[in-house]
């Protein structure tokens, strides 16, 4: 049985896990850094990198411990090699390189987005290629056609901000706290999604891409006007972002009639309102929706 030790440190989550060639997760240790970044209302790269340094080796030890596996028994060491915050990426990658060198194991450099694209296969054994992937995080907003391991076609991407950034900047503007996405979702529960007339950038466009920077500006104007409650702005922003995501996905599902499965990944995939709309879209388009558990959608 092949066993891989995987390390991740590309943003504000440090993680170490042991996974088998049969896609079984033997152990998974994750440390967040929310408290360290909260005073700044966003992830501070320098603080993130230093926090990774502190917890990475204890997490590796804990992951090996939990799986009752010695480093010698591991067949290879994998680490996220980017894209991500460079200081953090270097911590995980250099830890991986050092372990690989010391234990005489191969090192596998993993593309961060490829990790998101393939990790849904860990909890859904029936997930077969090809599938359409909506990857929505704090740094990315893409639609990919996943043909197989190592074969991806990027069909759409954002021309400015990521979807998660729209949530994070809205939370900051409204003083809802950090991290922004869950705070906006909570506030939106008590708000009216139709209260604030926000744009739906690029929807209906023949260009397949996303744009969220105009939405961010519109949210700021609504907040500064003093005409709207924070809950209403949050609900309206959430509805606008989801409308954009659904519109662009509809376009791709039409263009790719052979696709039978739609997968979501990235931190924004934890959003329940989005999950509900995607479930409805899946039913309408006759495709199966694979929404991994939120802990597997984020950096891990």
Binding residues for ligand KG4, rule: CB under 6 A, are: 11, 137-139, 164, 167-168, 179-182, 185, 266-268, 270-271, 298-299
Nearer to Zn ion, 136 or 233 (CB): 136
Total residues at the site for Zn ion (CB under 5 A)?
A: 2
**136: part of which helix (H) or strand (E)?**
strand 131-136
Find which of Zn ion, ligand KG4, none residue 164 binds, CB within 5 to 8 Å per kind. Answer: ligand KG4
Phi, psi of 78 (to 5 degrees): -115, 140
Nearer to ligand KG4, 100 or 241 (CB): 241
CB of 280 vs ligand KG4, minimal distance in Å: 18
Find which of ligand KG4, Zn ion, none residue 152 binds, CB within 5 to 8 Å per kind. Answer: none
Applying the rule CB under 5 A, the residues between 121 and 140 that interact with Zn ion are: 137
Q: Tell me how crowded residue 49 is: count the other CB atoms within 10 A of its CB.
A: 17
Q: Tell me how crowded residue 275 is: count the other CB atoms within 10 A of its CB.
A: 16
Determine the Cα–Cα distance for residues 174 and 168; give it in Å rounded to an integer. Answer: 10
Q: DSSP labels for 163-177?
A: HHHHHHHHHHHHT--
Q: Give the CB-side neighbour count of residue 291, counting CA atoms within 13 A.
A: 19
Find which of ligand KG4, Zn ion, none residue 96 binds, CB within 5 to 8 Å per kind. Answer: none
CB of 21 vs ligand KG4, minimal distance in Å: 25
CB of 265 vs ligand KG4, minimal distance in Å: 8
Q: What is the DSSP letter of 211?
A: -
Stretch that binds Zn ion, among 61-69, 168-176, 189-197, 292-300 (CB under 5 A): 292-300
Nearer to ligand KG4, 89 or 268 (CB): 268
Task: Find where tokens 């090996």 sit.
Answer: 64
Determine the Cα–Cα distance for residues 169 and 175; give it in Å rounded to an integer. Answer: 10
Find which of Zn ion, ligand KG4, none residue 232 binds, CB within 5 to 8 Å per kind. Answer: none
Selected binder of Zn ion within 8, 13, 231, 299 (CB under 5 A):
299
CB of 41 vs ligand KG4, minimal distance in Å: 12
CB of 164 vs Zn ion, minimal distance in Å: 9
CB of 220 vs ligand KG4, minimal distance in Å: 17
CA dihedral 17, 297, 211, 47 (to 10 degrees): -40
Long-range contacts of 121-127 (CB under 8 A, 24+ apart): 121/23, 122/19, 122/23, 122/25, 122/292, 122/296, 123/292, 123/293, 123/296, 124/290, 124/292, 125/23, 127/261, 127/263, 127/290
Find which of ligand KG4, Zn ion, none residue 185 binds, CB within 5 to 8 Å per kind. Answer: ligand KG4
Question: Are residues 263 and 145 in contact, defined by beta-carbon separation less than 8 angstroms?
Answer: no
CB of 290 vs Zn ion, minimal distance in Å: 17
Q: What are the residues binding Zn ion (CB under 5 A)?
A: 137, 299
């Amino acid at each position: 049985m092949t066993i891989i030790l995987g390390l991740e440190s590309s943003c504000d989550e440090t993680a170490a896990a042991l996974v088998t060639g049969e896609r079984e997760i033997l152990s998974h240790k994750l440390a967040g850094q929310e408290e360290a970044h909260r005073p700044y209302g966003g992830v501070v790269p320098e603080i993130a990198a230093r926090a990774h340094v502190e917890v990475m080796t204890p997490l590796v030890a804990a992951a090996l411990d939990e799986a009752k596996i010695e480093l010698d028994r591991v067949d290879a060491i994998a680490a996220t090699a980017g894209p991500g915050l460079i200081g953090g990426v270097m911590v995980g990658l250099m830890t991986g390189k050092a372990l690989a060198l010391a234990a005489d194991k191969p090192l596998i450099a993993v593309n961060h987005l490829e990790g998101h694209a393939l990790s849904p296969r860990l909890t859904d054994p029936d997930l077969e290629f090809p599938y359409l992937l909506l990857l929505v995080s704090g740094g990315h907003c893409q639609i990919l056609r996943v043909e197989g391991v190592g074969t991806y076609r990027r069909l759409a991407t954002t021309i400015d901000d990521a979807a998660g950034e729209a949530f994070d900047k809205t939370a900051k503007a409204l003083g809802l706290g950090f991290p922004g996405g869950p705070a906006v979702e909570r506030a939106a529960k008590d708000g009216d999604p139709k209260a604030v007339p926000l744009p739906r950038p690029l929807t209906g466009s023949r260009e397949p891409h996303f744009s969220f920077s105009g939405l961010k500006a519109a949210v700021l104007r609504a907040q500064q006007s003093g005409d709207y409650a924070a809950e209403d702005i949050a609900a309206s922003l959430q509805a606008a972002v989801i409308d954009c995501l659904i519109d662009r996905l509809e376009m791709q599902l039409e263009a790719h009639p052979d696709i039978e499965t739609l997968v979501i990944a990235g931190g924004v995939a934890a959003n329940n309102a989005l999950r509900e709309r995607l479930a409805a879209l899946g039913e309408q388009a006759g495709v199966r929706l694979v929404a991994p558990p939120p802990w597997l959608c984020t950096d891990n």
